[in-house]
A and B are shown apart, each in its own frame.
Chain A
Amino acid sequence: MTNKPTIYLDYASTTPVDPRVASKMMQYLTPDGEFGNPASRSHRYGWKADDAVEEARSHVANLVNCDPREIVWTSGATEADNLAVKGVARFYKSKGNHIITSKIEHKAVLDPCRQLEREGFEVTYLEPDEGGTIHPKQVKEAIKKNTILVSLMHINNELGTLNDLNAIGEITREAGAFFHVDAAQSTGKVEIDLSTLPVDLMSFSAHKTYGPKGIGALFVRRKPRVRIEALIHGGGHERGMRSGTLAPHQIAGMGEAFRIAKEEMKDDHAKVKAFHKKFLDEAMKIEHAYVNGDLNNKVPNILNISFNFVEGESLIMGLKDIAVSSGSACTSASLEPSYVLRALGRKDELAHSSIRFSFGRFTNNEEIENTLSILHNVVDRLRELSPLWEMHLDGIDLDTVKWDTH
């Protein structure tokens, strides 16, 4: 066990850069490479850098089937979400001031919504069902005359559950509201066809799809046209929507990562699906383990499981040779367990006991097997240590105990 590298099962958090992507990025940095500023129009250094940026833009557009002119580079999905939510709200505030989102969005959408509330906008936060899905019907019921924007994620980052973009988009179209989708977890995992999807804005991240951190993009539809107010001013780059010198090495990296994603999506998916099945079958042999998120409506690369009677953070510490994430409070600065799991109506103790396993392109069978055997062992040991497990074995129903909450 010693000196073995830590097994990485946290692909939903970030992925390593594919070596093919890294070598592409290296071409745009050094004196012997194309290091120019793509905005320089007066010499070949600039032209070459611009070529690289536009080639990458085509690769990104190609993966999601949109026009390259609809892609705006940002520093990542967080900035893309901010630009979409705040940009649309502020541009169209004379049309209305109501926004619809959900309780299980990423903070990159929730925090901008909070900011807009401070600016006088009204935000409706839809509740997911217990499987982690937002239903089109809920959107329809929440839409008002003054609704200007609906922002919902495609794939939930903690659960892997999917929203029905087509049905929701049809509702927003009919209501005359814009539809923004955070698709940070989607690229290379599921097919996205923006030529048919009724989506107006979509956020992307490079580093969830084997590209570098620090680069992302926002799709801004041209027909029917969506206008946004910029967040960053200073030179009018990206057709005024996002100023600042473009980073060709980052952009080329994202382009290459998305080009590969398109080519290898089928293989990646088949591989991850097999890991998911094996992991689920084996992990569910542990008593009182519960999957969070509807198994019939989720992607196979994310698997979120609660192990009742053990606390998630101690489980993560016990799984020290495995890199995973927990919905437990101790891994974040607050005492609250995952707001996503709580929104599903999971009891706090189950939210505290949750672990997110996420698989990816470089995961192998041996890693899955080792993780499963370590997992069984550590859960058993922590339960030996757990007064709650002892009470459970004694036949005490923990729900009937009056706890002194602090």
Chain B
Amino acid sequence: MAYSKKVVDKFENTLKNPEAFNVGRFDPAEGNIGTGMVGAPACGDVMKLQIKCEPSGNTHVIKDVKFKTYGCGSAIASSSELVEMLIGKTLEEA
């Protein structure tokens, strides 16, 4: 397979231990949650991303992120990678 080791490892680790890699969804009752979904099943990729924000100064900081992805291995691995990059960023930085 043409995938790099990094992609394969990320995919496998996410699959093995979803909680540790931010897979899931927030309780809909919680506030400060933003939800987005892109893609279409017919195209083979759908990603759902949720961010939990907290006010910080005159902006918001992403405190936590959860995601779910339907798609090929690289879509799942890259979703997982993206999520890690987001945590701790302000909305502007993100």
Contact = CB atoms under 8 A, between A and B. Distances in A.
A348 B40 CA distance: 10
Nearest to B76: A314
Contacts of B14: 385
B72 A314 contact: yes
B13 to A, nearest CB: 12
Nearest to A329: B44
A404 B37 CA distance: 10
A335 B14 CA distance: 25
B23 A347 contact: no
B68 A382 contact: no
A386 B68 contact: yes
A100 B47 CA distance: 42
Interface string A327-367: 01110000101000000000111001000000000000000
Interface residues of B, number: 32
A398 to B, nearest CB: 6
Interface string A360-386: 000000000000000000100110111
Residues of A contacting B: mostly: helix
How many A residues are at the interface, by size bracket?
Answer: 20 to 34
A403 B68 contact: no
Contacts of B11: 314, 317
Interface in A71-97: none
A403 B69 contact: no
Contacts of B73: 313-314, 316-318, 330
Interface string B62-94: 000000111111111000000000000000000
Contacts of A320: 12
B18 A385 contact: yes
A50 interface: no
Q: Please provide the 5 A-B residue pairs with the shortest distance between their CB atoms, ordered closest to farther.
A: A403-B40, A349-B41, A348-B42, A317-B73, A387-B48
B47 A384 contact: no
Contact of A385 (B1, B8, B15, B45): B15
Nearest to A330: B72
